[in-house]
Amino acid sequence: MDFQDGSLVVWDNLGESKAYKLIQYHIHAPSEHTIDGKNYDVEIHMVHKSYSDNTLASVGVFFDSAAGGSDPNPFISALDLARARNSTRYRIPQINLMSLVKELNFNK
């Protein structure tokens, strides 16, 4: 999905920063990557392009419905993971990525 707004700023170990514009995101279900050999239910990649050159920066976020608690998660439910797993190419409904990112807890 292409994206219209959003930025990422990255600082290197010398304290110099580089700004990137969010250009698109895509979703893998199950996750494309693993952590300690474990796949997660969903992995979102948010792809950014540098304002100053053609370099890219990608941010990945994992979702685990089992570890997310017993309350239904509207985001994961909307993805219809059972249907996605049984299809070679599945189109998900439109998602408000900014509202999702605002709800993420990066302190866990």
Question: Is position 1 within any domain?
Answer: no
Domain of 19 in residue numbering reads as 7-103
Question: Is position 108 within any domain?
Answer: no
Question: Is position 99 within any domain?
Answer: yes
Domain count, the chain: 1
Question: Is position 48 within any domain?
Answer: yes
Task: Provide the b/e sequence for 3-30 (b: ≥16 CB within 10 Å).
Answer: eeeeebeeeeeeeeebebebeebebbbe
Question: Is position 22 within any domain?
Answer: yes
pLDDT tens by residue, 11-47: 888 888 888 988 888 888 788 999 999 888 888 898 9
Minimum mean pLDDT among 4-18, 55-69, 91-105: which range? 91-105
pLDDT tens by residue, 59-73: 888 887 676 556 666
Question: Is position 21 within any domain?
Answer: yes
Beta-ladder partners of 25? 46
Question: Is position 16 within any domain?
Answer: yes
Question: Is position 75 within any domain?
Answer: yes
Q: What's the whole-model pTM score?
A: 0.62
